[in-house]
Chains A and B, each alone.
Chain A
Amino acid sequence: MRVIRAAVDEIYSVIEQMVGAVFRHGLPLTDKIAARTTLTNFVLHIHPVRVRRSWIRMSYTLCLGGLSFFLFIVLTVTGLYLMFYYVPSTNHAYQDMRDLQFVVTFGGLIRNMHRWAAHAMVITVWLHMARVFLTGAYKKPREFNWGVGTLLLLITLLLSFTGYLLPWDQLSIWAVTVGTNMAKYAPIAGPYTRYLLLGGKIVGDNGLLRFYVLHVVGLPLAGFLLMVIPFWRVRNDGLSGGLGPWPVKPANGSRHGSEPRRGGGSGPTTPRWRSVTTVTTR
């Protein structure tokens, strides 16, 4: 009996340790724990801990960065679906694209979501950069972020370009013929670049496969790795957006702030689970 109890205790402690390793702050039983959990976690709180109200005005950011990220997610998911039916070979590509459009259940929806999200992402990324430029958000200390942003714009355009070839219709083939011939005009490395990009001298099987690999793995991976940097920098540097007032402290000075804080200068610490905290404070 004793042995079994000891074993159960041991198992419990191991499970407790594992749970504790994941949920490091414990249950959010008080406002303090809730706030600490949220504020120290990049995923739960993507903005800096202190945010001026003027930074997050909708009319200032226009949500363009968030929209771009959202479209990136949409493209990743729909692209994953498309990969189940699409074979990147000159014998199959066009037929697979037609099948997706006309035979596969919801294939047309998925393909059109992918296509339109791609168009939209080019627009939102461009507008995001325009917004950052026009509001001077690229200035110190955010120059590095601007540099990363230009790379991300480039990756967005390259993703569009590589995706353009994949339907393997006349438009794709000649568009990529033209595009890679432009690359050939670059001094010194031009012809080599084209040869490397196409894996040959014409837009053929090798080229299709290379563009496919770049489109589904290479560029999205690079894009994701680069995308993390601006998110992190924004949390560290704060947003641009002027010197509007800091969030106001609750007027009654209570630790929790007893007023419901709807849009009223609450700062980032508004706990959603107040009912829980009032009942179970130990």
Chain B
Amino acid sequence: MRRFGVCALLGASGGALVQGGRYLQPNALYEDPPAFKADPPSSYAVGSTTVLIDKRVVINRDPNGFYAISLICTHLGCTPRYFPDVTSDLIAEGTQIARDPDTGHLATKSNPVLPGFKCPCHGSRYFRDSVNFYGPAPRPMDHLHLEVARDGKLFIDRSIVVDRSFRLKV
């Protein structure tokens, strides 16, 4: 009987602990929803980079289509900023920068300027197409699913991560 009492007490305590953990887990979040609409495709020029800083999303338009980048540093989650030149200071220091595997772009002494992103927290750098080339970032930033909504606007879903080769042709 005594053993049963001890077991019951332990069980009840454990249950209370687990349920306490469940209580602390919110069932509904009132955060910004993951999916949102941007401008219609025609408002983005070919070759343009558009930073939606509040949404932490970048919309790139290349000759072969649109793609969206989640502007969250893959190191520890800060927001990288866009700069038209993220390479020339490294080139001037003599740092070797690898070729961008996706676009084939290469910063050299004769052509040192490439656009991209710099993270303010620990200095990770990314090419314009989200591939990391400098600093502690372990991998390229995530690419997000996007499509054209019925009203003709771009529709970006931040909860769906897609392959880096994903392009939306319009």
Q: How large is the interface on B (under 10, 10 to 19, 20 to 34, 35 or more residues)?
A: 10 to 19
Are A200 and B29 within 8 A (Cβ)? yes
B36 to chain A, nearest CB (A): 14
Q: Is B8 an interface residue (CB 8 A)?
A: no
Kindly list chain A residues whose C-beta atoms are within 8 Å of the C-beta of B78: 174, 177-178
B75 to chain A, nearest CB (A): 8
A45 to chain B, nearest CB (A): 37
A179-210 contact mask (Cβ, 8 Å, vs B): 1 or 0: 00110000000000001100111101110000
Are A195 and B25 within 8 A (Cβ)? yes
Kindly list chain B residues whose C-beta atoms are within 8 Å of the C-beta of A201: 29, 31
Distance of A159 Cα from B21 Cα, bound (Å): 21
A212 to chain B, nearest CB (A): 14
Q: Is B76 an interface residue (CB 8 A)?
A: yes
Are B77 and A181 within 8 A (Cβ)? yes
Distance of A178 Cα from B122 Cα, bound (Å): 10
Q: B77: nearest residue on chain A (CB-CB)?
A: A181
Q: Which of B21, B25, B77 contacts A177 (CB 8 A)?
A: B77
Distance of A205 Cα from B31 Cα, bound (Å): 9
Distance of A201 Cα from B30 Cα, bound (Å): 10
Q: A204: nearest residue on chain B (CB-CB)?
A: B31
Is the contact region of chain B dominated by helix, strand, or loop, or is it mixed?
loop
Distance of A177 Cα from B71 Cα, bound (Å): 14
Interface size on A, residues (CB 8 A): 14
Kindly list chain A residues whose C-beta atoms are within 8 Å of the C-beta of B26: 199-200, 206
Q: Which of A174, A200, A205 contacts B121 (CB 8 A)?
A: A174
Which chain A residues in 23-43 approach chain B with CB under 8 Å? none
Kindly list chain A residues whose C-beta atoms are within 8 Å of the C-beta of B29: 200-201, 206
Q: B34: nearest residue on chain A (CB-CB)?
A: A201
Q: Which of A181, A195, A202, A205 contacts B76 (CB 8 A)?
A: A181
B161 to chain A, nearest CB (A): 14
Are B31 and A178 within 8 A (Cβ)? no
A76 to chain B, nearest CB (A): 25
Are A177 and B76 within 8 A (Cβ)? yes
Q: B74: nearest residue on chain A (CB-CB)?
A: A181
Q: Is B18 an interface residue (CB 8 A)?
A: no
Q: Is B170 an interface residue (CB 8 A)?
A: no
Distance of A182 Cα from B25 Cα, bound (Å): 19
Distance of A52 Cα from B90 Cα, bound (Å): 64
Q: Which of A178, A196, A199, A204 contacts B77 (CB 8 A)?
A: A178
Q: Is B24 an interface residue (CB 8 A)?
A: yes
Kindly list chain B residues whose C-beta atoms are within 8 Å of the C-beta of A174: 78, 120-121
Are B121 and A199 within 8 A (Cβ)? no
Q: A178: nearest residue on chain B (CB-CB)?
A: B76
Distance of A19 Cα from B29 Cα, bound (Å): 56
Q: Which of B24, B120, B121 contacts A196 (CB 8 A)?
A: B24
A13 to chain B, nearest CB (A): 43
Q: A182: nearest residue on chain B (CB-CB)?
A: B76
Q: A179: nearest residue on chain B (CB-CB)?
A: B76
Are B24 and A178 within 8 A (Cβ)? no
A interface vs B, CB < 8 Å? 174, 177-178, 181-182, 195-196, 199-202, 204-206
Given contacts A178-B121, A196-B24, 6 further A-B contacts (CB under 8 A): A174-B78, A174-B121, A178-B76, A200-B26, A200-B29, A202-B31
Please name 20 pairs of A and B residues whose Cβ atoms are closer than 8 Å in the assembled complex, sorted by A.
A174-B78, A174-B121, A177-B77, A177-B78, A178-B78, A178-B121, A181-B76, A182-B76, A196-B21, A196-B24, A196-B25, A199-B26, A200-B26, A200-B29, A200-B31, A201-B29, A202-B31, A202-B32, A205-B30, A206-B29
